[in-house]
């Protein structure tokens, strides 16, 4: 009984203490550059060469927050880009969280101008996609729109991965892009 009470107190205080979890450089602020990772993020595989925009590949949108944002592409050679980062605090198994981010599309991304979507994963390991927590609709709009979603980790997770995707990319290739900015902090569902 004593152990059960201590466990409940620990779980309650841990949940209560979690007010929000901010990602490092969630707005992708950095010097604009092509084929460059923004500070605080790492690539999942060698095919990932994200762009810090605006100013390259014919993309000149204003950022939705700050000065810069991220561009990810899918390619005709059936590859696509994926970035990630380690969260400062692990997300608890079975707890509901919510977050959001701004998405847009560019019709002028140097030939990679078809619409795509993003997938967001959680993981307990640096480069492994363990749990899909969000898949956006096909992003065809050039204006920034905010997308929010809820998710519940299936186990303790400390890595967040974001990839650009389109159903055709694995079979025939796809020349597309997505623009990402202003990732919100991660909140508990009842605190948002």
pLDDT digits (tens, 9 = 90+) for 80-115: 999 999 999 999 999 999 999 999 999 999 999 999
Q: Nearest Cα to 164, choosing from 110, 101, 116?
A: 116
CA-closest candidate to residue 140, choices 172, 98, 179: 179
pLDDT band at 169 (very low <50, low <70, confident <90, very high): low
Lowest mean pLDDT among 7-21, 101-115, 120-134, 143-157: 7-21
- The reported pLDDT for the residue numbered 18 is 60
Q: How many structural domains are present in the chain? A: 1
Span of 45-54, 132-141, 142-151 with lowest mean pLDDT: 45-54
User: Residue 20 and residue 92: Cα distance in Å, rounded?
Assistant: 13
CA 180/CA 136 separation, integer angstroms? 12
The CATH number given to whatever domain includes residue 174 is: 2.60.120.260
Q: Which residue has the higher pLDDT, 165 or 15?
A: 165
Task: Label residue 90 exposed, middle or buried (CB < 10 Å: 0-12, 13-18, 19+).
Answer: middle
- Say yes or no to pLDDT of 184 above 70: yes
Does position 121 have pLDDT exceeding 50, yes or no? yes
Identify the pLDDT of residue 2. Answer: 52
With a pLDDT cut of 90, the percent of the chain lying above it is 77
pLDDT band at 53 (very low <50, low <70, confident <90, very high): very high
Q: Quote the domain boundaries for residue 107.
A: 2-188
Give the pLDDT band of residue 17 (cuts 50, 70, 90): low
- pTM for this structure? 0.87
Is residue 1 exposed (0-12), middle (13-18) or buried (19+ Cβ within 10 Å)?
exposed
Rounded distance between C-alpha atoms, residue 147 and residue 135, angstroms: 10
The CA-to-CA distance between both ends of the chain, in Å, stands at: 34
The pLDDT, as a whole number, for residue 15 is 44
Task: Label residue 161 exposed, middle or buried (CB < 10 Å: 0-12, 13-18, 19+).
Answer: buried
């Amino acid at each position: 009984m004593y152990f059960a009470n201590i466990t409940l107190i620990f779980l309650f205080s841990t949940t209560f203490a979690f007010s929000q979890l901010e990602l490092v450089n969630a707005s992708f602020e950095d010097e604009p550059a092509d084929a460059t990772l923004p500070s605080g993020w790492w690539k999942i595989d060698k095919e990932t060469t994200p762009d810090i925009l605006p100013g390259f590949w014919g993309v000149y949108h204003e950022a939705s927050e700050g000065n810069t944002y991220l561009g990810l592409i899918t390619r005709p050679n059936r590859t696509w880009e994926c970035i990630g980062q380690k969260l400062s605090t692990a997300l608890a198994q079975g707890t509901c969280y919510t977050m959001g981010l701004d998405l847009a599309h560019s019709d002028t991304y140097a030939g990679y101008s078809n619409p795509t979507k993003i997938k967001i994963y959680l993981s307990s390991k640096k480069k492994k996609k363990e749990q899909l927590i969000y898949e956006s609709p096909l992003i065809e709009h050039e204006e920034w729109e905010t997308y929010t979603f809820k998710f519940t980790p299936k186990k303790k997770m400390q890595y967040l991965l974001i990839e650009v995707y389109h159903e055709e990319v694995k079979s025939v290739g796809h020349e597309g892009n997505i623009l990402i900015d202003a990732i919100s902090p991660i909140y508990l569902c009842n605190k948002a």
